[in-house]
Amino acid sequence: MNQIVTIKGTKSGIILVLDPNTEFDVLKKEIASKFNEASTFLGKNNMGLIIRGKELSDDEQSEVADIISDNSDLTITCIIDEQSEMEKIFKNAASQSEHEAVAVPESEPVETEPSAIEYNYDNSAFIYTGNLRSGQDISCEQSVVVLGDVKPGANVTSYGSIFILGELRGNAFAGAGGDRNAIVMALELNPLQVRIADAIAISPDAEKGPKLRFKKKKIMTSVHEPEVAYIENGHIVKTVYGTAFLRQYIK
């Protein structure tokens, strides 16, 4: 007999597959049981949630998120709508050549916005206070702000940009939905791995793979300056986060 609730864990979050023919009240009990049984395996993390199989109302989705939190050590930071129009655009873009244009739904003519914010879902962001340690993950559709350090073995994934108000030594994946204009900023940018859309770079100390390098030679100072990683000519580079970068980014 097919299971009415299936849990799939990914680096981007939790995928919950529900049987479309089962009543919601029955599904709730099974969800609680499944996550209670898997709580040790899933660990203590902040995760995004994707629900597949059965269409749920906003209230029902929120209830599912609460059930997961009550029966495990997971905190659901956001529920990703795979059927959103922007999500469909990203999926279409991924299947086409990078030189082909992506068809965007037509709308009334509006003033062109700067390309750096072309794919933003909204102006909101998920804010996490505290250090992220090895094994802890944040996965969210919104941009992410971490008020602390991201240690080696910790992961931050966002469809938007990532801002670490501390040191980034773990992994960061910005523009996870395909936004090549997303950025990763940190007060100290020393990641094991950083990804932006389909581009990837690793620590300069790693043996293999494309290295994360400064766009220009860094001038040594006694004070650490914030740093930012972004895509330039198809490669991820990093530079000092300051007025010179912002003039280029928002032009």
Phi and psi angles of residue 117, each rounded to the nearest 5 degrees, phi first: -120, 20
Provide the pLDDT for residue 115. 34
pLDDT, one tens digit per residue, over 68-96 is 989 988 888 777 765 544 444 444 444 44
Kindly give the parts of the chain with pLDDT less than 50. Answer: 1, 84-122, 217, 219-222
CA atoms within a 13 Å half-sphere pointing along the CA-CB vector of 215: 16
pLDDT, one tens digit per residue, over 89-120 is 444 444 443 444 444 444 444 443 433 333 33
Amino acid of residue 45: N
Q: Which residues pair with 143 in a beta bridge?
A: 125
> Using CA atoms in the order 193, 46, 87, 174, what is the torsion angle rounded to 10 degrees?
-20
Provide the pLDDT for residue 223. 59
* Strand segments (E) across 26-160: 46-52, 75-79, 125-129, 137-140, 143-147, 155-158
Provide the pLDDT for residue 123. 52
Provide the pLDDT for residue 173. 94
- By three-state DSSP, how is residue 1 classified? coil
Q: How far apart are CA 182 and CA 175, in angstroms?
A: 5
> Is the whole model's pTM more than 0.75, yes or no?
no
Q: How far apart are CA 245 and CA 174, in angstroms?
A: 18
Domains within the chain, CATH numbers bracketed: 5-79 (3.30.750), 115-249 (2.160.20.70)
- By three-state DSSP, how is residue 196 classified? strand
Provide the pLDDT for residue 207. 56
Provide the pLDDT for residue 105. 46
The CA R_g of the chain, rounded to the nearest whole Å, is 20
Tokens of 134: 């090895």
